[in-house]
Chain A
């Protein structure tokens, strides 16, 4: 893995200079190509197979109407939701882990996913308005409210990472218990629907699901980059970060807001996809060892997108006519990663 020597080039103009790490650039390029390839495969494969060239033709608006409908209305939005939601989770996972300074932290562990789940599951089980618009709305509101609650509860003259994690697991436990409770109360038909949401699925996702995630990413990814230096400092601990001149509480609030919004938006679009944030952040960091946080962010984002895209594609194609929810596959895909960690030769 670390065969590539750490080399970098410096890009300079009159007003701007940036050091570009060659390895990070190579990894990013490779992941981007992989994502594009998988995206094409995702759109090309299905009940009616569309040759990749026709896919390209349709994307630029030169395809026949039938193909156009399948590509632009059915498959492309679903594939885009997968990539974008996965990317959002990857970024959020990385930020949560660095801010809390604990590699086990992920949005599921500190309750953001639980809040979104409780809202969504309650809507499905107790009301009749579990439609395509209200369900993501409820999940989004649930996730954001939980984030607010979490921050307020963890605040005590500042939000120390250790306390944030402990408060978070308390919040998560309460919310998850409520989810289990709600599942015992409803009609089994609704409970079954809620269950699929809890597993996480991309079935039937449309452009309506794409836009919120896309807008959140467009706004928040630059914000995350702008905060990269602060994130790097926070990793060293509050005191050192303060010593480096970082306004600790303000940076942490900004970073947590970014992560919470990205998680909520993505969970609202897909349901609770297990392990994605956790694994994407880990793999991302491992692909560019020693890189700065701002370099690791896009890598983790692409990893997240790839994981969800691959999971959805596999769930749709590998098991014949049975369409497995992507969440089942993300859980299954996480296992080999853990196994890899387990089997890699010990070092450091």
Chain B
């Protein structure tokens, strides 16, 4: 296999073998691809620490950890950029992996982390926090948003499993649509009549990882870590589900249990991401498609690739947002969507994407 595999030369191989839709087809090239992604992630984390309205040389960045002094540079790196970078990493992994889980579970390419009403629930919780408790710092929204997303998900799951079909992807998506419709209407109603709340909410709604305190990182890290571990296990289950319920059953999968497992991993990842950064819409939708373009339809690979690509995507977007309009900053939610979309469209146009 190593004699013929030339994964790097995409243009020639795509032209010569039009039927091969994925880029990396062997375990070896996929492992190498994943390692390359991780290396890129490390580089982006370094850039995220060094670049901003104040450029800090990489040597100083390293000094800030090994030889810490109380200079402005070191304080900025440790107090502002480290939490921001870690948050970008966690949110990116959460969005990418949860998107892959949802697309696999619902077998619909449009599924994204907001689909079960998670974003709507988190948004309503944040709006209520602003309206009732007069809370205006993004770090303080985290617990409210987490609770909102979690409660919505419990309601959606209860509603989705209460029918006689059990928790099929369709019933879950429909239950999510019910909750989202109601919660969005309620949120919009509050924002229509309370301009003060809208004035605060719009900054959360745009999606950003700037200005969060270190506690936010520690709050969401356990959710993302456990969720991602479960998501990695779920790859095998999603492969079985992709064949259809009957085949999956015949292969010895316990469908209900498998779906519940995927759903738990999903809420841990997506809920934590939206709680920390606000609704970032594009990453969870596009990243699994990018992963699929690389590795094809095997979810054991799509999930880890989605996590890594998601983190790279989010960090790159955040760093770009600091550079583009310097000294002002563009929120990462705007950058990932406004610049990520053209890239995504280019990707969709260029290859025949493996369909779900």
Q: Which residues of A contact B (CB under 8 A)?
A: 102, 104-105, 109, 153-154, 156, 162-163, 165-167, 169-171, 173-174, 176-178, 180-181, 183-184, 188-189, 191-192, 195-196, 199, 274-275, 322, 324-325, 327-329, 331-332, 334-335, 338-339, 341-343, 345-346
Contacts and interface: CB of A to CB of B under 8 A. Distances in A.
A327 B109 CA distance: 27
B345 A342 contact: no
A328 B181 contact: no
B282 A173 contact: yes
Nearest to A325: B192
Contact of B198 (A195, A324, A342): A195
A176 B355 contact: no
B110 A104 contact: yes
Contact of B206 (A180, A199, A275): A180
Contacts of A191: 198-199, 202
23 contacts: A102-B110, A169-B110, A171-B341, A173-B282, A173-B337, A174-B338, A180-B202, A183-B205, A184-B202, A184-B331, A192-B198, A195-B198, A199-B188, A274-B181, A322-B193, A324-B189, A327-B188, A331-B182, A331-B185, A332-B185, A338-B174, A341-B174, A342-B174
A156 B181 contact: no
Contacts of A338: 174-175, 177-178, 181
Chain B interface mostly helix, strand, loop or mixed? helix
Contacts of B212: none
Interface of B: 108-110, 159-160, 163-165, 171, 174-175, 177-178, 181-182, 184-185, 188-189, 191-193, 195, 198-199, 202-203, 205-207, 281-282, 285-286, 289, 330-331, 333-334, 336-338, 340-342, 344-345, 348-349, 353, 355
A331 B202 contact: no
Q: Which of B164, B195, B355 has the most CB of A within 10 A?
A: B195
Contacts of A184: 202-203, 206, 331
A177 B348 contact: no
B109 A165 contact: yes
B345 A180 contact: no
Given A102-B110, A173-B282, 13 more contacts: A173-B341, A177-B334, A178-B338, A180-B205, A180-B207, A189-B195, A191-B199, A192-B198, A325-B192, A331-B184, A332-B181, A335-B181, A338-B174
Contacts of A102: 108, 110
Contacts of B160: 342
A169 B344 CA distance: 10
Contacts of A104: 108, 110
B205 A332 contact: no
Please name the 9 residue pairs, one residue from A and one from B, whose CB atoms are nearest each other, closest first.
A177-B337, A174-B341, A331-B185, A173-B282, A335-B181, A170-B341, A338-B178, A180-B206, A334-B181
Contacts of A196: 192
A109 B334 contact: no
